[in-house]
């Protein structure tokens, strides 16, 4: 029985010493906790003296609870600190990640801006080149058009001149023919038989009867009219020659000839003339 008590006491002493050692490590003033000067413990390089008889079981239990509580608080503090460190580390990692993402985003935006700027520059250069090419083409087309127009104008002028010359030559030739015809007719008229003279005078009289001369017209006294006709007397063409009158006067004489168609028929085939040259004076 006595040995069992000694054994319990020995265990108790060991536990107590362990707690005291823990308190010393935690830098707790054990003397203050116990609240007695008799329970004196000097903590330095070694434990000098502990009066174990003055310590009750209740005080030991209280100290044990305090140690547990302190240990719990330390563990919670350590846990809290660890969580804070983890949170801080996580925050730093997130900030670092965010910063890297922002830098990456910024870099991508800068690259995008550079790419857009390069594309814009390239596009502007292409547009400028295209504009210059269009302007050059327009200028060349205009120069070509002017050259062609100049050549065409020159060709037209030459062609027109040639046409005018040919026309004048033809008119001159025709005029010479008419003059020759008139001379020939005058010579023939001087040699007409009575039947031919009566035939010519009959034609001339019919035309004069149909000739309505407008008032206030300017004209010369004599107008030569060259009439082409068929044997039936139908007029096929009328030409005026050597008549110095205005257009109204000349048109009135031409209309009179056409109005007289068909002309009087020749009494004999030998008397008929397909081309007749008549001289008209303004009738009284």
Identify the residue with better confidence: 107 or 23. 107
Complete domains list, the chain, with CATH: 2-92 (no CATH), 193-281 (3.30.1150.10)
CB atoms inside a 10 Å sphere around CB 236: 10
Q: For residue range 109-136, what is the model confidence (pLDDT) as tens digits?
A: 888 888 888 888 888 888 888 888 898 9
Q: Is the dihedral of CA 272, 274, 279, 282 positive or negative?
A: positive
Beta pairing partners, 27: none
Whole-angstrom distance, CA of residue 146 vs CA of residue 253: 50
SS3 state of residue 44 = coil
Q: For residue range 178-234, what is the model confidence (pLDDT) as tens digits?
A: 777 667 666 666 656 788 888 999 999 999 999 988 887 766 668 899 999 999 999
Who's near 170: CB < 8 A, 6+ residues apart? Answer: none
Conformational region of residue 242, where left means phi above 0, alpha means psi within -120 to 50, and beta covers everything else: left
Closest CA to 249 of 208, 217, 203: 217
SS3 state of residue 212 = coil
**Does the predicted model carry a pTM greater than 0.75?**
no
């Amino acid at each position: 029985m006595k040995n069992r008590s000694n054994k319990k006491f020995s265990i108790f002493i060991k536990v107590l010493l362990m707690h005291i050692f823990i308190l010393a490590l935690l830098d707790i003033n054990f003397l203050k906790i116990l609240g007695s000067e008799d329970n004196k413990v000097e903590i330095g390089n070694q434990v000098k003296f502990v009066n174990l008889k003055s310590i009750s079981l209740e005080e030991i239990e209280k100290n044990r609870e305090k140690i547990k509580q302190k240990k719990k608080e330390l563990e919670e503090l350590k846990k809290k600190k660890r969580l804070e460190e983890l949170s801080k580390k996580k925050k730093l990692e997130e900030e670092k990640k965010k910063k890297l993402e922002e830098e990456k985003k910024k870099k991508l935006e800068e690259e995008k801006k550079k790419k857009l700027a390069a594309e814009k520059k390239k596009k502007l250069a292409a547009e400028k080149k295209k504009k210059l090419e269009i302007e050059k083409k327009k200028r060349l087309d205009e120069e070509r058009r002017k050259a062609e127009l100049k050549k065409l104008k020159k060709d037209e002028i030459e062609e027109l001149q040639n046409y005018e010359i040919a026309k004048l030559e033809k008119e001159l030739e025709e005029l010479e023919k008419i003059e020759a015809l008139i001379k020939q007719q005058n010579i023939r008229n001087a040699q007409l038989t009575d039947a031919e003279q009566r035939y010519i005078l009959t034609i001339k009289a019919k035309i004069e009867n149909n000739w309505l001369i407008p008032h206030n017209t300017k004209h010369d006294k004599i107008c030569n009219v060259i009439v082409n006709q068929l044997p039936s007397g139908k007029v096929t063409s009328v030409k005026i020659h050597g008549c110095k009158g205005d257009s109204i006067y000349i048109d009135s004489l031409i209309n009179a000839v056409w109005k007289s168609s068909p002309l009087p028929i020749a009494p004999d085939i030998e008397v008929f003339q397909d081309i007749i040259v008549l001289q008209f004076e303004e009738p009284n």
